[in-house]
Structure 1
Amino acid sequence: MTAKVVIRQPQPVMEVRDSDEWGSGICDCCENVPECCFAFWCCPCFACKTSRDYGQNLCLPLLEIFGGCIPPITMSMRVSMRERYGIKGNICRDCAYATFCPSCTWCQMSREMRRRKIQVLLIGAKNT
């Protein structure tokens, strides 16, 4: 007598988020007050932390110290995040937010990363 053993490997199940809008507004600092205070009082440190959490070099935002009028790293990170998450927008708005309110921009990007973090749930194998 032969027995047939069927083994199923767990498959990842991902929650799909298909929103094409930012999860919070540029000035929604009340969603996370400690984070917003950190960004306001020490924006370079907060930008470095957010950059690292996004998967970029920790010191990348420090390059803006040598920039001109438009902060290139803040703007490019915002554009990159819009592209990665499929958020509608345009480069003119990204430029304006990065130039006139960089700490709010970094806070918004941090909230978006936390909101869009996809949890992977592994489903256990069943005996059949």
Structure 2
Amino acid sequence: MSNKYDLLRDEDRPGGYTGPVNTNQPTGFGTTTTVIVTQPTGSGRQWTSGVCDCCSDFDTCVCGYFCGLCQACALAKKLEESGMVALCGSNGLVALRTKYRTKHGIHGTMMNDICLSTFCFSCAQCQLARDMKAEMYPKTCCGVC
């Protein structure tokens, strides 16, 4: 099989290269990409507490109110994500809630996660923390979160 460089003289080839030209370049490195077209909605259970049930777990409520960034970092680490997700504000919380919800089969939608994370950030974050506590996720950070 010939290519466009086979017709050139050795001195006219790119870089003055005189050896054989490899035309079979690698097309990938063995990785695959999965694209999620439809977001799973979770058809199993409900959250263990409501969004506004902040007083049902006083420690979690206080941690979320006074140390919200610390709590968000702890939640990310519990879900095996980078603590930097906590710096992404409501976008980071959307990602954490959606990951947790789909992992545990909790009924809901991504749009619901977006609305709650945007308009009820602290309550949505505390709801996630309470649910993780109910699911016996290990305590991290200062021991309260």
TM-score norm. by structure 1 comes to 0.66
Partner of 1:117, secondary structure, is coil
Partner of 1:45, secondary structure, is helix
Match of 1:50 in 2: 75
Q: Could you tell me which of 94, 100, 106 is aligned with 2:125? A: 106
Please say if 1:72 is aligned against 2:97: no
Structure 1, unmatched stretches of 5+, are 1-17, 65-70, 119-128
Quick one: distance in 1 between partners of 2:117 and 2:123? 9
Quick one: distance in 1 between partners of 2:79 and 2:132? 7
Letter in 1 for 2:111: C
Match of 2:86 in 1: 61
Say how many residue pairs are matched: 95
- Give the deviation of 1:108 after TM superposition: 0.8
Q: Could you tell me which of 8, 13, 23 is aligned with 2:48? A: 23
Match of 2:5 in 1: none
Match of 2:109 in 1: 90
Q: Indicate the structure with greater strand content.
A: 1
Q: 2:60·2:130 contact (CA, 8 Å) conserved in 1?
A: no
Partner of 1:73, secondary structure, is helix
Q: Deviations over 1:68-113 (max 9, x none)?
A: xxx2111111111110000111112111100011111111111111
Q: 1:54·1:113 contact (CA, 8 Å) conserved in 2?
A: no
TM-score norm. by structure 2 comes to 0.59
Root mean square deviation of aligned Cα: 1.9
* Greater Rg by CA: 2
Identity %: 29
Letter in 2 for 1:93: N
Q: 2:94·2:114 contact (CA, 8 Å) conserved in 1?
A: yes
Match of 1:117 in 2: 136
Letter in 1 for 2:133: R
Structure 2, unmatched stretches of 5+, are 1-42, 138-145
